[in-house]
Amino acid sequence: NEGPQILKNGEKVFIIYSASGSWTDHYCLGQLTWTGGDVLDPGSWVKKPEPVFRGTDAVFGPGHASFVPSADGKEQWIVYHSARYSGAGWKRQVNMQPFAWNEDGSPCFGTPIAPGTAIPAPERIAE
């Protein structure tokens, strides 16, 4: 496990981290959720039993993510890298896509969008 990033939604706090070897097709993202109390106490965190973001038939080994809002602050985006093709090892590319929040306040990253798929650009602040 590597590359932890803090992600907050209101009072909810999450640590999103990369899991598995970054050179493999199995690289993915895991999640810890803070349950309250001392953030330095391991007992204050719950680990999701399954990855929260993993590869598909078209996207291999997505991981090492960062999170940024759109310029107008209305959208949240995940920026991550993935393998250029199955078995690519360190031949990786940068990807980004919007994500949403589940009803319980946790992040919902969905599935990685296939390369070449057009998506709307992040919203910008009106000039």
* Per-residue model confidence (pLDDT) at position 82: 97
* Per-residue model confidence (pLDDT) at position 121: 87
Express each pLDDT in 72-109 by its tens digit: 889 999 999 999 999 999 999 999 999 999 999 999 99
Express each pLDDT in 50-80 by its tens digit: 999 999 999 999 999 999 999 888 999 999 9
* Mean pLDDT over each residue of the chain, to the nearest integer: 94
Q: What are the strands, taking DSSP E only, across 10-127?
A: 12-19, 28-34, 45-47, 60-69, 76-83, 92-101, 107-108
Q: Is the confidence at residue 37, as pLDDT, over 80?
A: yes
* Per-residue model confidence (pLDDT) at position 96: 94
92/74 Cα distance (integer angstroms): 29
* Per-residue model confidence (pLDDT) at position 72: 87
Provide the token pair at 119. Answer: 């998506």
* Per-residue model confidence (pLDDT) at position 45: 98
For residues 49 and 30, is the Cβ–Cβ distance under 8 A? no
* Per-residue model confidence (pLDDT) at position 124: 74
